[in-house]
Amino acid sequence: MSTPSLDADVLVIGAGPAGVAAALMATSLNMKVLVVEADSVGGKLQTIGALENVSGNWTTGPQLAEALATDLSRLEQAGRCSLVRSRAVGVKGHSDQVEVLLADTHVLTAQAVVVSTGVAAMTPSDTDWISAAPSLSTPPLWRAKPEQVGPRTYVLGGDRPLGTWLRAHPKSSVALHVLAPPTDDYKLVEVSGDDRIQVVPVSSVVISRPENGDGFIVEVQDRQRERKVYAATAVLSNLGSRPAALEGLTSDETGYCPPDLQHPRIFIAGDLRSGRYQRITTAQGSGAEAALAYYYSNALQQA
C-alpha cells in the first residue's frame, strides 16, 4: 500500500487517545504511519487525576497515557510507525496526497491525514467576562495540589475538571470559591452535591494584584450587577478549552472541525470534532474509525 515518494501512508497529528487509536488501527491494516506530537504521548490523559469511565482498570490518566506510549514504542520497534516530536501548523489536501506543514517549516506528505489535536486550555484573555493584566498568572486547577489550595482560593470558571479535582482529592476539606458566568451553570450540576464547592454567580470579574503584591484582588459584578470585592490567596483557572484547529481545516461557527466538512483526504478524530462527546473512549473510537474511513475509501477507489 505504501507510496515510496511519500513520507507515510497516513500521518496522524496529535498522540492523545484519538491519535494513538488511529495509529494502532492504521498499522493493523498494513499502512505505514507517522505520528506528529508536539508534547507528550497521551495528551490530556496526563491531566486526569482520577479515572472511572474507561474499561481496563485504569484509575488515573497518566497510567493509561503510559500504556499508550508503550503501544507506540511497540509499533516503532516493529518498523510500522514513527513518532516525530514536532508541532504541526497547517494541513493541505490535494487530489493525490496531503501535506502537513511543521513549525520548523518542514513539510510531510502522505496519502491521508488524521488530525487529532484536541483542545487547548483557555486563558482569561480568551474570555469576554474576565479582565486581568496579561502578565497575571492563573495556574490551572487540575494541577493544583490540595496543600496549595487555601480557604481563600478562587477558581475562574466551572468547567468539568472541577469534578475530576474533587474526585482526585476526596480527603481535601477546603472550600473552593468558583466564579461562574451564566454559561457555566449547566456544568456545575455535576458538583452541586459537594459542599466543598461555593459557587459565586458572576457576570464579570476583574483580577488585580494589591499594592503590597500579596495575593489577589478579585472584583466581581454579580448577576444583579452588584459589585463585590474579595481578597484571594490564590486564583486558579478552570475555563474550559478551545479547539486546537490547524490552518487548512474547515471550522464551523463554534471553531470546531466537523469531519464531514473536510477535504476527502483529511480525517478528524477526538475532541477536535465538536464540543460534545469529549471523552477518552469516544476519542479512541473516532480515531480508529478515521483510519478505517480512509482504508475503505482507498479500497473503494482501487476496487
Residues at the site binding ligand FAD, with contacts judged by CB under 6 A:
13-19, 36-39, 43-45, 47-48, 51, 53, 87-88, 116-119, 142, 161, 164, 244, 246, 270-271, 278-280, 283
Which residue, 6 or 280, is less far from ligand FAD as judged by CB? 280
CB of 231 to ligand FAD, least distance (A): 28
Residues 6+ apart with CB under 8 A from 84: 34, 35, 36, 37, 102, 108
CB of 43 to ligand FAD, least distance (A): 2
Which residue, 164 or 298, is less far from ligand FAD as judged by CB? 164
Which residue, 88 or 110, is less far from ligand FAD as judged by CB? 88
SS3 190: helix
Which residue, 140 or 215, is less far from ligand FAD as judged by CB? 140
Q: Are residues 91 and 266 in contact, defined by beta-carbon separation less than 8 angstroms?
A: yes
CB of 300 to ligand FAD, least distance (A): 27
CB of 163 to ligand FAD, least distance (A): 8
Long-range contacts of 174-179 (CB under 8 A, 24+ apart): 174/146, 174/149, 174/150, 175/151, 176/149, 177/152, 177/153, 177/230, 177/232, 178/154, 178/238, 179/154, 179/155, 179/205, 179/218, 179/220
Which residue, 88 or 197, is less far from ligand FAD as judged by CB? 88
Look up residue 132 and give its three cell numbers: 486581568
| Interatomic CA distance for residues 229 and 63, integer angstroms | 42
CB of 15 to ligand FAD, least distance (A): 5
Q: Are residues 217 and 207 in contact, defined by beta-carbon separation less than 8 angstroms?
A: yes
